[in-house]
Amino acid sequence: MPLAPFTSLNIGGPARFFTVAGNLDQLRQALLFARRQGVRFCVLGGGSNLLVSDDGFDGLVIRLQLQGIQVSGHRIEVQAGVDLTALVRRTAQLGLSGMESLAGIPGLVGGAIRGNAGAYGGCIGEVTETVFALQADSLELLALDRGECAFDYRNSRFKRDPSLVVVSALLTLAPGDCEEIRRKVEGTIAKREARQLQCDLSVGSFFMNPVVTDPELICRFEADQGVRCRENRIPAGWLIDQAKLRSIRVGAAMVSQKHANYLINTGNANAQEMTRLARLVKMEVRAALGVQLQEEVSCLGFNPEPDRGQPS
């Protein structure tokens, strides 16, 4: 099964095995199948943060389609296969506040929990009370409270430990005014659409915003942008821009003209071009500014994983 159509980059070769899991039992069966075949597995959500190698993945891809939302007062139990923006819109209808800033982030709830997706100062970890995750080896369903999930900037326990598959999450929101929440949600979506980034083939921000220790660089950023940098993190896009890399290309892979942290597929780019472009960006930013960028995107089917190997 070719994986490119399942990713927002539209890049990547085939999976050796591919299946869809619509409930917990099917997910357990799929994990058992991978174990019996002696292959690795990978869970696929919306594919909006995934770069698949041109050779594909020599294992089992499990497309999660666990659907379902249960509301109890101001708490929502949501399954991993629910579309994140559909969930945010639903919270507005229910008059529940806390997820407005996440509106318009592509992908599904499971992927969002794993990467602690966030935007405009908010992230999903902040409203998450408990995550239910299936441990792939024991097939045991774990209930992990927020502390145990170890949410951090674009990170969580689920990203650090790929044997945990997020199945559902219990979110705690605050009661609010439906119309006001709806206005905020639609405002966030409109702000995103105005940037015209959603229509390009990308994974959103390709690199994480790095922690910078150089006080001069921090001053330069703050003077240039007129904002204070938070937790010493400087936007990767600003750094890439400073290194004058906007619009550079490797084949059909390009640093976006509109947002320097978006590496886009301009048509028929392959994974090799994408990874060569990413390597070039990292090298140039390091040479120009002394900062090491790290991929935010998840990579599948590379050997070694481009974001796990030595800084390239």
Ligand X SMILES: Cc1cc2nc3c(=O)[nH]c(=O)nc-3n(C[C@H](O)[C@H](O)[C@H](O)COP(=O)(O)OP(=O)(O)OC[C@H]3O[C@@H](n4cnc5c(N)ncnc54)[C@H](O)[C@@H]3O)c2cc1C
97 contacts ligand X (rule: CB under 6 A): no
Q: Is 48 a catalytic residue?
A: no
Catalytic residue (one of 205, 256, 273, 295): 205
Binding-site member from 165, 173, 239, 253 for ligand X (CB under 6 A):
165
- Nearest approach, Cβ of 53 to ligand X (angstroms)? 13
Terminal-residue alpha carbon distance, the chain: 31
Selected from 20, 69, 197, 248, the binder of ligand X by CB under 6 A is 197
Cα 128 to Cα 140, 215, 232, 300, 301, distances in angstroms: 21, 34, 25, 27, 30
Instruction: Tell me the CA distances in angstroms from 177 to 17, 91, 123, 180, 300, one per residue in order.
Output: 47, 11, 21, 5, 42
Nearest to 93 by CA among 204, 209, 178, 217: 178
Q: Does 12 participate in binding ligand X (rule CB under 6 A)?
A: no
Minimum CB distance to ligand X smaller for 176 or for 301: 301
Q: Cβ of residue 235: shortest distance to ligand X, in angstroms?
A: 12
Are 264 and 240 in contact, with CB atoms under 8 Å apart?
Answer: no
Q: Is residue 166 a contact residue for ligand X (CB under 6 A)?
A: yes
| Contact partners, residue 127, CB within 8 Å, separation at least 6 | 98, 99, 171, 172, 173
Residue ranges in 125-164 that form contacts with ligand X under rule CB under 6 A: 158
Amino acid at 178: C
114 binds ligand X (CB under 6 A): yes
Nearer to ligand X, 281 or 289 (CB): 281
Q: What is the smallest separation between the CB atom of 223 and ligand X, expressed in angstroms?
A: 26
How many Cα atoms within 13 Å fall on the side-chain side of residue 138? 7
Specify whether the CB–CB gap between 118 and 230 falls below 8 A: no
Q: How far apart are CA 123 and CA 253, in angstroms?
A: 29
What sections of 50-177 are H helices per DSSP?
84-94, 109-115, 146-149, 157-160
Q: How far is the CB of 61 from ligand X (least distance, A)?
A: 9
> Residue 118, interface with ligand X (CB under 6 A)?
yes
Structure tokens at 21: 């899991």
298 binds ligand X (CB under 6 A): yes
Under rule CB under 6 A, residue 111 binds ligand X: yes
Give me the residues paired with residue 254 across strands. 249, 264
- Contact in structure between 210 and 233 (CB atoms under 8 Å): yes
- Looking at the Cβ atoms of 207 and 221, the one nearer to ligand X is 207
- Decide if 64 contacts 112 (C-beta within 8 A): no
Question: Which of 52, 78, 80, 254 is the binder for ligand X (CB under 6 A)?
Answer: 80
Q: Clarify whether 205 is annotated catalytic.
A: yes
Site map (CB under 6 A) of ligand X, residues 246-285, x = contact: ----------------------------------------
Q: Which is nearer to ligand X, 144 or 289 (CB)?
A: 144
- Give the whole-angstrom CA distance, residue 6 versus residue 110: 16
Task: Rule CB under 6 A: choose which of 112, 171, 254, 289 binds ligand X.
Answer: 112
**What is the closest distance, in whole angstroms, from the C-beta atom of residue 73 to ligand X in the complex?**
25
Catalytic one of 63, 114, 154, 157 = 154
Residue ranges that bind ligand X, judged by CB under 6 A: 8, 42-50, 64, 80, 105-108, 110-112, 114-115, 117-119, 158, 165-166, 197-198, 202-204, 298
Q: Which residues are catalytic?
A: 154, 205, 296
